[in-house]
Amino acid sequence: MAHVSATVYTSHVPAIGAALDHGRAAEPYWAAVFAGYEASRAWLREDPPDAIVLVFNDHATAFGPDLVPTFAIGTGESYAPADEGWGARPVPVVQGHPELAAHIAQSVIQDDFDLTLVNRMDVDHGLTVPLSLLFGQPPAHDFRWPCPVIPLAVNVVQYPVPSGRRCLALGRAIRKAIESYGEDLNVQVWGTGGMSHQLQGPRAGLINPVFDHAFMDMLTTVPEAAAAIPHVDYVREAGSEGIELVMWLVARGAMPERADGRAPTCVHRFYHVPASNTALGHLVLTP
């Protein structure tokens, strides 16, 4: 049977992708960001997953005002990096895992989560920047990501967006689905976005480290408390785009419960301000 071996959480700031793609990763401003991921990258090389369910949001790239699915699962063979206005990022095409994705869709939809099925979409920085942060740039002679990735898109762009409670419950349903998949796969679930940031209006540039640290603490040890945070509190405390943090709750819900009831092990934790207009957060949790 497949199992969830770890969950990984990270911001997905587009400027991080631009820094990598334009050879600026060694500049002091960006080096401080990438240094925070080195331990996680070494950890990933030691125990590489067979597949990743990557919870992200599309930023009006594949979806838009015409079509806004609340939750959408990628059941396709592959997903090209999107052109977000400056050309597609020079990163590999993301290979999907149609069999596992179809199984998750079947299981989760029978558990009353109405996922939209997506067989074709381009994936934006919400998905490709986390892959770059944690895997680096694959070498030219073997230009592919290390494993298949199942995109799981959550609407956090157009209200009404799903509650944290719903996101945590969806993660639990995804774990149940993975654990009932017949093949023995090591699966990781990643949650992306956040942390506090506001890109617009009079409060543009808002960053709230007190909220962000409290969120990481709660997410790790009392996820139900994090899931109970109402949308308006995200907006007040974490800015208009801080709502992206509900995607971390999907990944947290996918963590296997420990037999002794204790919180998962926090293998890595990193927090850094600023990264472009945001507070950047990163966690790795294992059961």
Q: Residue numbers of the site for ligand DHB (CB under 6 A)?
A: 12-15, 59, 193, 197, 199, 241, 244, 276-278
- Residue whose CB is less far from ligand DHB, 13 or 44: 13
Can you list the alpha helix ranges (DSSP code H) found in 111-261?
A: 125-135, 164-179, 209-221, 223-227, 231-238, 246-253
Least distance between ligand DHB and beta carbon 230 (Å): 21
- Residue whose CB is less far from ligand DHB, 199 or 235: 199
Distance from the Cα of residue 156 to its chain's centroid: 12
- Residue whose CB is less far from ligand DHB, 126 or 264: 126
103 is catalytic: no
Q: Is the dihedral of CA 126, 128, 131, 135 positive or negative?
A: negative
Least distance between ligand DHB and beta carbon 71 (Å): 18
Task: Out of 97, 125, 268, 282, pick the active-site residue.
Answer: 125
Question: By the 8 A CB rule, do 149 and 228 touch?
Answer: no
Least distance between ligand DHB and beta carbon 219 (Å): 17
Question: By the 8 A CB rule, do 223 and 249 touch?
Answer: yes
The two structure tokens encoding residue 116: 């939209």
The two structure tokens encoding residue 113: 């989560």
Side chain identity, residue 132: S
Task: Out of 59, 97, 197, 268, pick the active-site residue.
Answer: 197
Q: Over the Cα atoms of the chain, what is R_g?
A: 17
3 is catalytic: no
Residue 17 burial (CB count, 10 A) = 23
Least distance between ligand DHB and beta carbon 194 (Å): 7
Active site residues: 125, 197
